[in-house]
Amino acid sequence: ATPTSIMVGTGRAAELGILFRKGDALQALRDVEVVAFDKTGTLTQGQPELTDFVLMQGFEQTEVLRRIASLEARSEHPIAAAIVASAERDGITLVNVTDVAALPGSGVKGVIDGEAVLVGSDRAMRDGGIDVSALATQAAALGDAGKSPLYAAIGGRLAAMIAVSDPVKDGSASAVAALKADGLKVVMITGDNSRTAHAVARALGIDEVVADVLPGGKVEAVKALRQNARVAFVGDGINDAPALSEADIGIALGTGTDIAMESADVVLMSGDLAGVPRAIAISKATIRNIR
């Protein structure tokens, strides 16, 4: 590849909001066979809304939501922001929480009024010894609707199940379709639960899903895909940084975290995933001009 043609290619890409941070990325991108996407904030808008609340017997809804929101106010997860916003809309005042600890990839815990409070996924509950099987049918229905079921335990007892919904971005389905039309395999990798992940993947035309992965698991998933193919990984979060580095090509969203962008070869300035097939097309056109 001549330096001039690479410059022309990267310049054209930059006009479209696609920044090639490394010179060889433009050439490497044309050889990509698999594109793996993070779900939350990448394929989805990353701004979940609290949509459902199922209260267990013996608990009072406002008090449960107060505890959940007070705890989540101490978490930085996008789900936490959704829950706090919902409680604020309902005029619920928050209370003090001590002994707060994040459970990476599964939830958050703390102590309120001398009682342990745990909020998170079924994994968080399993790890905390809380049985959620009474809600299995309802949780499955929420997951099949593309919503993420979460649970709250107070004083060691299951208090509620809530669900958050994080709609897909407008451009996600068409970006996936364009990649598939180009003969690429498209994969979703997510820390969310399997049912929810499959429902979202189905809506987007994604055939392969790796779900329920812990934060360190995304890099393992990319490694596994790299056994058989050249892989691009697209992500936005702190959790995505190792996977962005591991992939043959890391593509970060400019709407995401700095650490993701720093770990990437390519940055899509807007969060628009149309930039992924577009970047590959520019790569192919550039290399074609050279040969």
Write out the residues near ligand ADP by the rule CB under 6 A. Answer: 39-40, 72, 75, 77, 79-80, 105-108, 119-121, 148, 150, 190-192, 215, 239
Are the C-beta atoms of 279 and 251 separated by less than 8 Å?
A: yes
Among 192, 212, 236, 272, binds Mg ion (CB under 5 A): 236
Q: Which of 24, 38, 99, 192 is catalytic?
A: 38
Does the footprint of Mg ion cover residue 237 (CB under 5 A)?
yes
Q: Is 38 a catalytic residue?
A: yes
Q: Which does 107 bind (CB under 5 to 8 A by kind): Mg ion, ligand ADP, none?
A: ligand ADP
- Distance (Å, whole) CA 165 – CA 55: 18
Helix intervals (H) in the chain:
3-15, 23-29, 61-72, 78-89, 122-127, 136-144, 172-181, 194-204, 217-226, 241-246, 258-262, 275-290
Helix axes 275-290, 172-181, angle to 10 degrees: 30
Does the footprint of Mg ion cover residue 257 (CB under 5 A)?
no
Tell which positions 113-152 bind Mg ion, by CB under 5 A: none
CB of residue 43 to Mg ion, shortest distance in Å = 9
76: left (phi over 0), alpha (psi -120 to 50) or beta: alpha
Tokens matching residue 57 = 């017997």
Starting at the earlier edge strand, list the strands of the sheet with 107-112: 49-55, 157-165, 148-154, 115-120, 107-112, 98-103
Distance of CA 279 to the CA centre of its chain: 21
CB of residue 113 to ligand ADP, shortest distance in Å = 20
CB of residue 169 to ligand ADP, shortest distance in Å = 15
Candidates 18-26, 60-68, 143-151, 234-242 — which segment interacts with Mg ion by CB under 5 A? 234-242
Does the footprint of Mg ion cover residue 41 (CB under 5 A)?
yes
Q: Which does 236 bind (CB under 5 to 8 A by kind): ligand ADP, Mg ion, none?
A: Mg ion
Tokens matching residue 278 = 């577009």
- Distance (Å, whole) CA 100 – CA 96: 10
Among 38, 122, 246, 272, binds Mg ion (CB under 5 A): 38
Residue with smaller CB distance to ligand ADP, 10 or 190: 190
Residue with smaller CB distance to ligand ADP, 108 or 186: 108
CB of residue 109 to ligand ADP, shortest distance in Å = 10
Among 6, 19, 37, 40, binds Mg ion (CB under 5 A): 40
Tokens matching residue 72 = 């989540």
Interface residues with Mg ion (CB under 5 A)? 38, 40-41, 236-237
Which residues form the catalytic set?
A: 38
